[in-house]
Amino acid sequence: MFRQITRRFHALASSKPFTITPEIQNALAKKGPVVALESTIISHGMPYPQNVETARAVEDIVRAQGAIPATIAILKGQVHIGLEDEKLEQLGKMGAKAQKSSRRDLALILSKRGYGATTVASTMILARAAGIPVFVTGGIGGVHRGADQSFDISADLTELGRTPVAVVCAGVKSILDIEKTLEVLETQGVSVTTIGERRFPAFYIPDSGFDSPSCVYDESEAAELIYHNHRLELNSGMVFAVPIPKEQAADTQSIQKAIDTALAEVRSNGISGKDETPFLLRRVSELTKGESLAANIALIKNNAKVGARIAVELSKSYTNS
């Protein structure tokens, strides 16, 4: 398995569309722990300068646990695995001018030498291509409320069914239909595991009201699951859900009220597709007077700590195999 990853990495490191920082190249060559990070959370998830400050803080947290951060984005038609400070600043200032990029958008953005911020789905693809098995994000996409009419289901779920990258998150975004999302993940054959708890989290709050399909005690057990997923060559992703610490969670009632209001505005304004989630997150933050944004920042930092520890433990497994 690792030989396949190494061959893919060397091919991409020498190909024109990919720029991999020397630090990450060195870590991958030595089977060291690297953590992929998405860039949509920078361009579309938070306002400047909080987005850049949070991104840098997340990278610092990953390093503090002994892993190397690899923020992924597309700049001038070039896939960047790892962003230097000035490029991170550039992306943060661009904000939504950088195109929100899922699987379907990657080739188009490269062909037009454009700027793209990677979603969960596209970050998984590019992390896999670079040989990075662990990816940290805030929350995954899923089945939108009212999907029985709109058929709006995130490409994240399909990608999880076919790309073997472990995604460490705070569960499914609270604005979505969590019960139906868990059903689709089961259909896609995706392993869904909560770390430390039996209940599946709901992004801003630690308990969605649904049990998780499985749970593990700590990061070492999570790494063991990933290792065996690779050994079996299942070729499907894994979701590791990390509940936001209760002291940093948002108030359940205020969050639900804000979500209901924001959803009504989405329907009345005809907002749909890739514009819906950024709008909902922004409006929920406005309606909760920043409470949801504070929880969002707290949970991504917590996920980064857990994800980096998983990457370190997984690196030990590969080194000893």
Residues acting as catalytic residues: 38, 173
- Which of 192, 187, 244, 248 lies closest to 216 in space, CA to CA? 192
In the three-class reduction of DSSP (H, G, I as helix; E, B as strand; rest coil), residue 193 is classed as strand
Beta bridge partners of 144: 176
Ramachandran area for residue 263 (φ above 0: left; ψ -120 to 50: alpha; else beta): alpha
Residue 27 CA to residue 166 CA, distance in Å, equals 18
Please report, as a single letter, which amino acid is at residue 278. P
Residues 142 and 177 sit within 8 Å (Cβ to Cβ)? yes
Q: What angle do CA 32, 34, 38 make, to 5 degrees?
A: 170
Computed on alpha carbons and rounded to an integer, the radius of gyration of the chain in Å comes to 18
CB burial of 54-79 (b: ≥16 within 10 Å; e: otherwise) equals bbbebbebbeebebbbbbbbbbeeeb
Antiparallel, parallel or unpaired: β 68-75 and 78-81: antiparallel
